[in-house]
Amino acid sequence: MADSILILGGGFVGLFTALHLRQLQCSCPVILVDRSWSFVFKPLLYELLSSEVKLELICPTYDELLHNSGVTFVLGAVESIDLRQKQVQLNSGLQYSYRHLVMALGSTTGYLGTPGAEDHSFPFRAPDDVFALGQHLRNRLQLAAQTTAIAGANIAPSRPRA
């Protein structure tokens, strides 16, 4: 729909922009695009790691969050944006025209050029990162429980490469 407000990315910025626009009873159709079915409430990722909250609590689906809001959710990864033609191409093959575009695609993990930081640390932005870190901690605890050597035990962190 060429008269729509197209919001790319359903994180805090994109999701709340979409809901706010509907609250203001904006007359244009509002379309929210994200590559995932569910929102991630990042401030509670620590509690997911410590098993104080369940995944469903911090990752509600966009269908749940946008129910009856008037916002249309589209699943897909943004592949390209043509600002001149006002068109966005998704990896699903779908193409969207827009009147207004909101880019809210977030950021990526940065290491500020620190040598070794990427190899010896875990990213912590998504549930999969939490599960990888949790598994690593459990493995290290098992290893520590099995070793009799106190000094010189090699339990320095090193992240398994994907």
Ligand X SMILES: Cc1cc2nc3c(=O)[nH]c(=O)nc-3n(C[C@H](O)[C@H](O)[C@H](O)COP(=O)(O)OP(=O)(O)OC[C@H]3O[C@@H](n4cnc5c(N)ncnc54)[C@H](O)[C@@H]3O)c2cc1C
Site residues (CB under 6 A) for ligand X? 9-14, 33-36, 42-43, 45, 77-78, 104-106, 124-125
At its nearest, how many Å lie between ligand X and the CB of residue 89? 11
Query: CA 52 from chain center: how many Å?
Result: 20
Instruction: List strands edge to edge, sheet with 5-8.
Output: 71-75, 30-34, 5-8, 100-103
Q: Which is nearer to ligand X, 70 or 122 (CB)?
A: 122
Q: Which is nearer to ligand X, 28 or 126 (CB)?
A: 126
At its nearest, how many Å lie between ligand X and the CB of residue 72? 15
At its nearest, how many Å lie between ligand X and the CB of residue 105? 4
At its nearest, how many Å lie between ligand X and the CB of residue 35? 4
How many Cα atoms sit within 13 Å of 61 on the Cβ side? 7
Q: Which is nearer to ligand X, 27 or 108 (CB)?
A: 108
Relative to beta strand 95-97, strand 87-90 is antiparallel
Closest residue to ligand X in the complex (CB): 11
Q: Which is nearer to ligand X, 100 or 125 (CB)?
A: 125
**CA-based torsion, 12, 15, 17, 23: positive or negative:** negative
